[in-house]
Amino acid sequence: MMSCGSGARLGRSPRTRGRPTFLETLPTPPQPLPRFAVNIAPPDLSPWLTDHGGIPGIIHREGAQPGPHVVLTSLIHGNEYAGAVVLDRLLREDIRPARGRLSLVFANPQAFARFDPDNPVASRFVEEDMNRLWCRQVLSGPRRSVELDRARAILPVIESADILMDLHSMLWPGTPLILAGRMESGRRLAAMIGDPRLIVSDHGHQSGPRLIDFERFSAPGSPAAACLLEAGAHWNKDTVEATDHAVRALLRHSGLLPADEAAPLPPPRHMMVTDIVTAQTPRFRFVRPFRGGEVIRRRGTLLAQDGPDEIRTPYPDCMLVMPNLRPGLGQTAVRLATVVPESVPPTP
C-alpha cells in the first residue's frame, strides 16, 4: 500500500547550498499574486447538485452493452471549473454511452460555491486540499473536514472506477499535459487518450497522495487506471476546449462513444519527474517567469534563487513542470522532468 506523503527525487540535486548574507536573514514580505483574468463564467451546476437519490453531484449514465466504468472528476479543486464546464456540457447534450457506465463527478461543490472572480484563487478548497488526502489511513481515520467528508461520500464511485480522469487546470501559463502518476497503467491510459500529447510521470507530492495515487489505481495488480489532466490556465476558453478534446478522446478510446475517422495523432512525448524543488525560504525567486513545459537545453542553467541557494538545471533538456511563480515557504516551486527515451507501448 502506498504510504501517505510519498515523493521522490531521483536525479542530481538542482540545489547548491549557499551561505545567507546579512540581508538574506532579514524577513521579507511575501510577493503579491498578480491579478488573474477570469475569461470563462462559472457554470450553473444546480441541476446536477440536487439529490437524485444517489450521491448529490454525481451523475451516472449507463450504456446498453457491458463495458468499463469510466469516471470523470471535476472540481477536486473548487476554482478549477473548466472541467465542470465540460461535464455540464456533456450532461446538457444528454450523453448516452454505447456501453459501460459513465460517472460524472462534481467533487467539491462547497469550494466551487465560494468562487469569487475578484479573488479567484481563494476557492481552491474550503478547509484542505482535496487532492492530498487519497490514502486509506486518512479516509478511514477519525479526522474530519469539508473535503474529507466529501471524499468519503464519493469514495464508492472512485472504488468502482475502471478508468478515471481527474480534470484540472493551471494557475500559471503552461503547455497542457496529462499527469500519469507513477504507474505504467496511468502512462498507458494517458497514451491512449493521446491529447494533449505531453505525458508526465511523477511520484506525487510529499504533502499527501492525489486521487490518481489512490490504491484503487496504484496497488500492484490493480486493473484500474487513472490520470490527471492539466488542460491549461484556469479561466481560459482554450482550457475548456482542451478539456473537451481530452474527455471525448477518452470516451472514444474506451468504447463509450463511437470511434471517429480522424487521422491518428502524433505519438505522445513522455517525460519523467526527477526532482521536486520546494521553496525553503520566503525569498524564493525565479530568475524569469518560466512557462510550464519549457525545456532548458543547458545543464547548470540558473532557474531561481532561494535565499542563499541557487537552483540550476541538473541535466540537459530539462523540462519545467508547472512552475509556481510565487511559491510560499514549503510549497513546491517547480518540478523538473527528463525525457523518457522508450516510447509508451500502444494500448490494445
- Residues of this chain that bind Zn ion (CB under 5 A): 77, 80, 168
H-type helices in 131-198, by residue range?
136-140, 146-158, 184-193
Q: Pick the closer one to Zn ion by CB: 131 or 313.
A: 131
Q: For residues 101 and 254, give the distance between their C-alpha atoms in angstroms, rounded to a whole number.
A: 11
Which run of H or E residues covers position 217? helix 215-218
Which run of H or E residues covers position 288? none
225-233 and 177-181 strand pairing: antiparallel
Q: Pick the closer one to Zn ion by CB: 80 or 147.
A: 80
Q: Pick the closer one to Zn ion by CB: 109 or 314.
A: 109
Q: For residues 343 and 341, give the distance between their C-alpha atoms in angstroms, rounded to a whole number.
A: 6
Q: Pick the closer one to Zn ion by CB: 314 or 323.
A: 323
163-170 and 225-233 strand pairing: parallel
Smallest gap, in angstroms, from Cβ of residue 79 to Zn ion? 9
Give me 126's grid cell. 474550503
Q: Pick the closer one to Zn ion by CB: 212 or 303.
A: 212
Strand-pair partners of 230? 168, 177
* Of residues 69, 104, 3, 15, the one with CA closest to residue 284: 15
Q: Pick the closer one to Zn ion by CB: 41 or 121.
A: 121
Smallest gap, in angstroms, from Cβ of residue 219 to Zn ion? 24
Read off the amino acid at residue 212. I
Smallest gap, in angstroms, from Cβ of residue 37 to Zn ion? 18
Q: Pick the closer one to Zn ion by CB: 108 or 278.
A: 108
Work out the number of other CB atoms within 10 angstroms of the CB of residue 74. 29
Read off the amino acid at residue 164. L
Smallest gap, in angstroms, from Cβ of residue 168 to Zn ion? 3
Smallest gap, in angstroms, from Cβ of residue 278 to Zn ion? 18
Q: Pick the closer one to Zn ion by CB: 214 or 318.
A: 214
Smallest gap, in angstroms, from Cβ of residue 179 to Zn ion? 10
H helices then E strands: how many in the chain?
A: 8, 15
Smallest gap, in angstroms, from Cβ of residue 29 to Zn ion? 27
Task: Dump the DSSP string for 19-74.
Answer: PPPTGGGS--PPPPPPPPP--SPPP--HHHHS--SS-TTEEEEE-SEEEEEEEEEE
Residue written as grid cell 532548458: 296
Smallest gap, in angstroms, from Cβ of residue 172 to Zn ion? 12
269-278 and 332-339 strand pairing: antiparallel
Strand-pair partners of 180? none
